[in-house]
Amino acid sequence: MLVLKNNSFRGPIPSSISKLVNLSFLDLSSNKLNGTISLDMFSELHSLQYLDLSSNTLSLSSNNSVTYVLRNLEHVNLSSNIFNELPRFLLGSKNLSVLDFSNNRIRGRLSKFPLKDIELLNLRSNFIEGDLPELPPNIRFLSVSNNSLTGTLSGICNAKFIEILDLSHNDFSGVIPQCIGSFSQSLSSLNLKMNKLQGAIPSTFAKGCALKNLNLNSNRLEGPLKPSITTCKDLQVLDVGNNMINDSFPHWIEALSELQVLVLRSNKFHGYIKNFKGMINILDDGKGVRYMGERNYSYDYSVAIAVKGSEIELMKILTILTSIDLSSNNFEGQIPRDIGELSSLRGLNLSHNNLVGHIPSSLRNMTRLEWLDLSSNKLSGQIPTGLLDLTFLSSFNVSYNQLVGPIPKGKQFNTFENGSYHGNEGLCGVPLSRGCNNNVLGQPPPALWMNSQEDDGSKLEFGWKVVTIGYGFGFILGVAIGCACLRTGKPKWFVSCDLL
């Protein structure tokens, strides 16, 4: 066994490694190794079972025509290098069960890879093209996301014991096979995000469904979102954003007690948002809905897979803002008053719907709220002065409604710019030029701490790229000029593995 991972070794792998003829375990991962690998250096390592050269800057020598086979090789991880083809000595490895070539420059078709006995295959972020071949029945993990694969998904139906399947960010078309529901007792994570899939979401899921993650974002799916998904009692992530789903608000989500991420944005959901009671319970139990929007997100997702007697843990990292985003649908009616009971909420986006009535005064109870977007609806009445109690509020948008009366003065409201109120002819007061006594006010100086926002509410994004946080907010009066000293920051939102 030779383990030299997580060091700062530089240069090429020494050819003298070929003299370690009894070596069974070689791990040189996470160094600064570079140069080309001559496959001859492995030709005498007949006992080698485990090979990990990941996270270096290695490439394959042009002479990749060797004919020897490392028959005992079981686990190969060459991810995060600059390989452009598969080493030939892998093609005849009968015991190969784990193969990770993710984040390389591999070209060609998936059918050329040794799939027959593979249990874990990770080819994410390469240049692989062509159709998805029929998957072997014993495969447990497959990720081919961020490639150029095309065709239908009919090949997945043979993989009856697969636990994690990530086909996201490709060009797959056609419908989602109904077989997905039939073997959901083993399937823990399904990611089909960013393809061209159409038709309906599978209507049935097996009793004892094991799904924890279902990501169908950015396809062409339509039809209703059926409550049969509640069979998947352990579901943590349900993402159907950016499709053409036509349905009313899915009140049955309260049956999904483990749900942490729900994305409904940019569909054709309609009707009344009448009941937040179940969602309140989910939020208050400390483990329920954490996100209902379009923002980039990552989340805790850990699955242990036993391969050849060894346990391999696949983990994702949790960074989820407690938020609700139901924007860009056709919801109508009033904003329910009980939404104010979601006291742990950090973000609320109900923009671009057909909501009417007043802004509920109960929103003042959402004391942790950092951003609030109610723009592009048909809301009327005044902006509740109770919103001044939201001292963490750093982004606010009620543009393009039918609001009237004075804009609240003081605290956070002194920092919001004109774009937050555009399209409400009845509003008056700072920062607008229209005074509340028909006086014309001078334009206030630009806020010192807010990034400028687009006038068009549809372009406003509280993106995690740049957002100012209102933690510890307060005005500190200076002796000389009384300037407001505000602390700004950029939260560390990031995506890990895309879903998976």
What is the distance between the alpha carbons of residues 241 and 254, in angstroms, rounded to a whole number? 19
H helices within 230-310, ranges in order?
A: 277-284
Residue 460 has pLDDT above 60, yes or no: no
What is the distance between the alpha carbons of residues 396 and 386, in angstroms, rounded to a whole number? 14
Amino acid letter, 446: P
What is the distance between the alpha carbons of residues 11 and 327, in angstroms, rounded to a whole number? 52
User: Domain limits at 222?
Assistant: 97-325
Same domain? For 321 and 334 the reply is no
Average pLDDT, the chain: 79
pLDDT confidence of residue 310: 54
**Residue 46 falls inside a structural domain:** no
Same domain? For 283 and 354 the reply is no
Same domain? For 444 and 362 the reply is yes
Q: E-assigned strands of 79-192?
A: 98-100, 107-109, 120-122, 127-131, 141-143, 148-150, 164-166, 173-175, 189-191
Min mean pLDDT across 12-26, 236-250, 306-320 is at: 306-320
Same domain? For 379 and 320 the reply is no
Residues forming beta bridges with residue 397, ordered by sequence position: 373
pLDDT confidence of residue 70: 82
Q: How far is CA 196 from CA 220, 221, 266, 448, 465, in A?
A: 6, 9, 16, 44, 27
Q: 101-148: per-residue pLDDT in tens?
A: 999 999 999 888 877 889 999 999 999 999 999 998 889 999 999 999
Which CATH number do you get for residue 451?
3.80.10.10
**Number of separate domains in the chain:** 2
Choice between 361 and 499, residue whose per-residue pLDDT is larger? 361
Same domain? For 152 and 284 the reply is yes
Q: 386-431: per-residue pLDDT in tens?
A: 999 999 999 899 999 999 999 999 998 999 999 999 999 999 999 9
Min mean pLDDT across 14-23, 24-33, 254-263, 387-396 is at: 254-263
pLDDT confidence of residue 494: 26
> Where does residue 146 rank: exposed (0-12), middle (13-18), buried (19+ CB within 10 A)?
buried
Q: Output phi, psi for 258, to 5 deg.
A: -100, 0
Selection from 396, 355, 405 nearest residue 377 by Cα: 355
pLDDT confidence of residue 340: 86
Confidence of residue 64 (pLDDT cuts 50, 70, 90): low
